Amino acid sequence: MLTFRGGAVGALLLATVGLLASAPIAHTQPAPVTPTQPAPSGVTIIADLKLSREGVLEVVEQVDVPADGSFRMSLPLRLKVSDDAERYFKVTDVDTKGAGTATVANDQFTIEAKPGESTFTYSVHNLVNDAPGSQVFNWLGVMGTDIASISATLISPSFEMGIVDCKLGAPGSTRPCADVKTEVDGVLHLEQTDLKKGEAIDLTLQLPPGSVPSNADVRDTGAAGPFALTAPVLVAFGVLLLALAGMVAFVLRARRRNGAAATGSETIDPLVRDGERVQFTSPDGVLPGEAGLLLDEHVDPVDIAATVVDLAVRRYLWITPISETDWRITKVNAPDDQLRDYEKAVYQALLPDGAEAATVAELRAPGRVQSEPVRSALVADAVTRGTFADPRRPGLTLWLGGALIVAGIAATIALALTSGHALVGVAIALAGVATVLLPKYLPVRTPHGLELTGQIRALQRGLESTRREQVPPIDQETVFSRALPFMVIGGRADNWIRAFRDLNPSADSQPGLYWFGGFERDRNLQRFAGHFPFFITALEGLFATAGDPHR
């Protein structure tokens, strides 16, 4: 088998592997005619090659395989010519006759022949390589099996074809070819017999410059690809890192200012006095659930639990302990226009339409209580009241980020197909993604919401300092009950109950707390103080979920 740099005799000129240094063209005199000898036995190859004026090598190769033999040639279509360069070839117009097959696949052109005579016709492209003062062909054919004889003829467009060198033998142990000659009409003949497996024919030819178009396809594998780290790419990612650092600084500053403004040190007196009477009031009429959402920008189970208590305090529900671990929630009044949508959602979760009562144990059944509608309604209420920014409303950052993503994708494709530096487009797209995600990490409270949050903090500080003795006995139960949900959201209900532990819930001529049963005979809140935290924990368990719709 004859191969070109591991290829075949059919690609006699295919291995144009490099630029040849400028040198005088050595015209080889016709070799003496070898006396006629008996036809050798074994695989014989007759190849007619023609280099067209377009620089395409047209090959007709006849292979004769004896009855007990076989022939295979594998011609690589991609050759490494240096550490950082590869040469690419192309084979077209493949045709076979006889008991042979020819295929092009996986950067290989493969010819196989069974016993008998086979003829292969094909064209090889990208052969011509310019050198200083000439055009150069170099062919290295390595035998893959013993070859009885090779007879090859090459016709080129130029009559001035010269042979620079022709050697035969194993690599490192070569000898001159036996019979290579050039006719006066420029036709080259090569005859060789008895080639052994592993031996090679190394033939270098020169043509005058401009004989055919130079079409060698040599690619620099060491060159940067379209996604390589180039100077423009490094600059783009440097700008991206600066932009991201700026975004992080902006987010941290906004959250720090938001936290400071929402904390403060002001105190609001929760008690409003009207003559000798006292009542509890919240800033701007804020409700416990809304207050809990504003404090930490999350809908927590405790915020919903505080809303349940508030609905009972406002006489929509009645709560009765039926055991140490269970409570009955009973309808007192149906939801009306005085309730906000999220409060109606809480009521509906506990007592669906038509239900008069339900126990906490019943509500624990899988799928019975849906917390997501409550959470969504609470966030929607905050947006409606102007304390939260609408997370679903497209803002400037969304439009700007989307435009950067589209521009980055377009730039990546365009640069990859043209000048390279495609990672510049990737940097632009990443900047767009960061811009789109920016609002997720910014505070969602509006200026009005931020102001109201500070007032809620001030209210909680005022409640911490409030004592039962500051409230007339006739108003103590009402003030205690109305303020209790606001202490629930802050996790300070125990302190508030402790401050009112000596409250006599029957002082208003009605036994027990008017919204929480089970302790009607008590003259203080001692037992209620030990029981109430378990009720709050049970409510939190009903509405616990990992989701948070506003984030």
Quickly tell me which residue has 């000129």 as its tokens. 13
Distance of CA 87 to the CA centre of its chain: 35
What are the DSSP E strand ranges found in 240-315?
271-274, 277-280
Are residues 466 and 322 located together in one domain of the fold? yes
- Give yes or no for a contact between 13 and 49, defined as CB atoms under 8 angstroms apart: yes
Residue 178 inside a domain? The answer is yes
Are residues 278 and 194 located together in one domain of the fold? no
Q: Which of 189, 220, 251 is the last residue of a domain?
A: 220
Are residues 52 and 186 located together in one domain of the fold? yes
Are residues 489 and 384 located together in one domain of the fold? yes
Are residues 51 and 120 located together in one domain of the fold? yes
**Residue 137, domain extent:** 2-21+39-220
Are residues 313 and 386 located together in one domain of the fold? yes
Q: How many domains does the chain have?
A: 2
- Give yes or no for a contact between 294 and 387, defined as CB atoms under 8 angstroms apart: yes
Residue 399 inside a domain? The answer is no
More confident residue, 136 or 117: 117
To the nearest 10 degrees (0 to 180), the angle between helices 372-384 and 341-350 is 170
State residue 199's pLDDT score: 77
Residue 254 inside a domain? The answer is no
The fraction of the chain above a pLDDT of 90, given in percent, is 45
Which helix (H) or strand (E) covers residue 201, if one does? strand 200-207
* d(C-alpha 230, C-alpha 345), whole Å: 58
Residue 438 inside a domain? The answer is no
How does residue 186 score in pLDDT terms, banded at 50, 70 and 90? Answer: low
Spatial CA neighbour of 181 closest among 192, 170, 195, 194: 192
Are residues 14 and 78 located together in one domain of the fold? yes
Residue 30 inside a domain? The answer is no
- Give yes or no for a contact between 73 and 1, defined as CB atoms under 8 angstroms apart: yes
Are residues 143 and 274 located together in one domain of the fold? no
Residue 532 inside a domain? The answer is yes
How confident is the model over 157-185, as a mean pLDDT? 70
Q: Tokens for 378, please give them.
A: 């609470």
- Give yes or no for a contact between 262 and 454, defined as CB atoms under 8 angstroms apart: yes
Q: Which of 220, 250, 275 is the last residue of a domain?
A: 220
- Span 470-495, pLDDT tens digits: 999 999 999 999 999 999 998 999 99
State residue 129's pLDDT score: 80
State residue 524's pLDDT score: 93
Are residues 180 and 84 located together in one domain of the fold? yes
Query: Phi, psi (5° rounding) for residue 394?
Result: -60, 130
Write down the pTM of the prediction: 0.56
Which helix (H) or strand (E) covers residue 453, if one does? helix 447-464
- Give yes or no for a contact between 534 and 500, defined as CB atoms under 8 angstroms apart: no
- Span 377-389, pLDDT tens digits: 999 999 999 999 8
How many alpha carbons fall within 13 Å on the CB side of residue 50?
7
How confident is the model over 254-275, as a mean pLDDT? 80
How many alpha carbons fall within 13 Å on the CB side of residue 502?
6
